[in-house]
């Protein structure tokens, strides 16, 4: 299912032996992605609040701020 709306056809035949490995890889990459995004946001806010170097505001469209 894609977004709970569309049923995709199976790509391969089901393999119960590979399910645990595939699930582990999927969950590991998903949580790693979440950690990377949250870390990126945290460092951007650190630049803005603690370093006060205008890195965050310079990313805004039409920004005149330069670090």
Q: Report the number of distinct structural domains present in the chain.
A: 1
In a domain, 37, yes or no: yes
Domain membership of residue 55 as a residue range? 31-62
CB-CB contact of 8 with 1 (8 Å): yes
For residue 6, the cross-strand partners are 2
pLDDT exceeds cutoff 70 at 67: no
DSSP, collapsed to helix, strand or coil, labels residue 32 as helix
Taking residues 36-65, what's their average pLDDT? 87
In a domain, 17, yes or no: no
In a domain, 10, yes or no: no
Distance of CA 30 to the CA centre of its chain: 8
In a domain, 67, yes or no: no
In a domain, 41, yes or no: yes
Confidence (pTM): 0.65
Residues sharing a CB contact under 8 Å with residue 7, sequence separation 6 or more, in sequence order: 1
In a domain, 38, yes or no: yes
pLDDT in tens, 1-48: 788 899 989 888 888 889 999 999 999 999 999 999 999 999 999 998
If pLDDT is split at 50, 70 and 90, which confidence band does 65 have? low
In a domain, 3, yes or no: no
């Amino acid at each position: 299912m894609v977004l709970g709306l569309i049923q995709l056809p199976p790509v391969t035949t089901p393999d119960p032996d590979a399910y645990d490995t595939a699930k582990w890889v999927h969950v590991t990459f998903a949580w790693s992605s979440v950690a990377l995004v949250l870390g990126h946001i945290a460092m951007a806010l650190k630049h803005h609040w603690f370093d006060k170097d205008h890195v965050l505001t310079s990313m805004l469209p039409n920004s005149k701020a330069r670090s």
